[in-house]
Amino acid sequence: MPIKVLLLMFLFLSQFLSVTKAEVPLKAAFVRDHQLWMKEGEQEIQLTKDKYVYSPKWSHDGRFIAYLDGDEHGKKYNLWIYDTKRKENYEPYTSIETSSFTWSPVENELAYLSGWVLNVTKMKDDRPYGFENVSLGVSGFEWYPNGKELIVSSSSNRLPTGWSPINVYRIPKDMKLNEKKAKLLYSIPIDENELFAVDVGDFKWSHNGKWVSFLGTPTPSWAMDSNPLCVLSSDGKVFKDVGRMLGFSDWFKWAPQASQLAYISGEGRFFVENKSMKIADIEAAAKQVEYTPKGFVDLDLEWLSPSKVVVARSQENKTWKEGPVPKMFTSLYEIDLRSGTQNQITSPKENELDIDPQAVGFYLTWLRNQDNTSRSSVWIKHYKQKVAGIWIKNVDSSPAIFKN
């Protein structure tokens, strides 16, 4: 075999091996067979047994993994924490039932909803334990970037005079049910013919904390087809109705260094058509640019850099009218916002699809799923390398990734 061919084979293999070896500076918390696992370097460790795990989330420093222990029907969710230092699972308080929880961006404390009550964990023996009531009447929430306050919303109610506004408040984490400490940021007027929602949630802050985006949820049947995407300035003085989309939190994301919000636009519950990736420049009046070519749909997105976005793309299927909804076999495409060029960067085999791209540091990960199974593999690629490799096999859902 010629030396040149051998050299090319060596370079190909070295690129493949380099993304699957221990030098990858990422940790992953993931779910396999409904149990919580962790991968660090080349080692995979099973962290739970006899549970039904959902939604693992890393604490800001990577010591703790919070997760939900539920059931296969999704009717019971109890909050648990895994302590990577002490290598044990524990409940921060006996039988905390919740489906909405998030870590502070600066400390190892959790905020979570139990019913309509917002709570924050206290500390005991250097880890989150116990809780303190913060506020009543909360439907959605998120920490402020400073970790000292939270942005919260209250639901709209149907009155004889119409729908009441959705109120958004700024509250301190040590509010302790003192209603006088809540500051009204904005009242969202509700109109079934213009902006219709009963709740708002999925709050996400822009990189500089100047803006917060969130998704509105109308009544259940309406929410299957259309949800308003909105943006509010941190001082509550500027409100913008950005557009309409489906109710997927991963379908809208802020740019890493600008006040640009990328989102998958388009109404209608089926993925076969009318799903386009747009970028709204929030500080430029009504400026939005669509990047999805005609004849295609984009069904997920991620910012790879300040000037590059990765989307999960498939061809439209306008011929489908009834019967089982067809699977959309997506591949990943990279869009260069400066040059306008768009290139396919993954090539799944027939009956495979690539979904859920995540950019962490210099790495891009995604799920590759086969049509005939619920199992997926996590693939990984360094941004300087063309060849990708399998990082984690047989996962139930996208991993939570922490950069060491």
Q: What is the mean pLDDT of each run of 10 residues along the chain (404 residues)?
A: 46 48 82 97 96 97 97 87 98 94 98 97 96 97 97 95 95 98 97 92 97 95 91 96 97 97 96 97 89 98 97 95 92 97 95 96 95 85 90 96 91
User: Rounded to whole angstroms, what are the CA distances from 137 to 28, 105, 317, 387?
Assistant: 35, 23, 43, 50
Which residue, 21, 19, 18, 37, is CA-closest to 29? 37
- Token code pair at residue 220: 């259940």
Q: Which helix (H) or strand (E) holds 13?
A: helix 3-18
pLDDT (0 to 100) of residue 385: 87
* 122, 114 Cβ separation under 8 angstroms: no
What single DSSP character describes residue 97? Answer: B
Distance of CA 383 to the CA centre of its chain: 21
* 196, 222 Cβ separation under 8 angstroms: yes
CA–CA gap between residue 266 and residue 297 (Å, rounded): 10
Q: Which residue has the tokens 């790879």?
A: 304
- Token code pair at residue 147: 């970790």
Q: pLDDT tens for residues 173-213? A: 999 999 999 999 999 999 888 899 999 999 999 999 999 99
Beta bridge partners of 127: 124
Q: pLDDT tens for residues 271-311? A: 999 999 999 999 987 789 999 999 999 999 999 999 999 99
- Token code pair at residue 33: 């067979």
pLDDT (0 to 100) of residue 20: 52
Answer positive or negative: Cα dihedral of 109, 114, 119, 122: negative
Q: Torsion angle, CA of 59/61/64/67, rounded to 10 degrees?
A: 20
Beta bridge partners of 43: 40
pLDDT (0 to 100) of residue 207: 96
pLDDT (0 to 100) of residue 372: 67
Which residue, 181, 151, 156, is CA-closest to 166? 156
Contacts of 21 (CB under 8 A, 6+ apart): 42
pLDDT (0 to 100) of residue 19: 53
Q: What is the DSSP string of 149-176?
A: EEEEE----EETTEEPPEEEEEEETT-T
Q: Torsion angle, CA of 173/174/180/185, rounded to 10 degrees?
A: -10
pLDDT (0 to 100) of residue 336: 97
- Order across the sheet with 88-90: list the strands: 53-58, 64-69, 78-83, 88-90
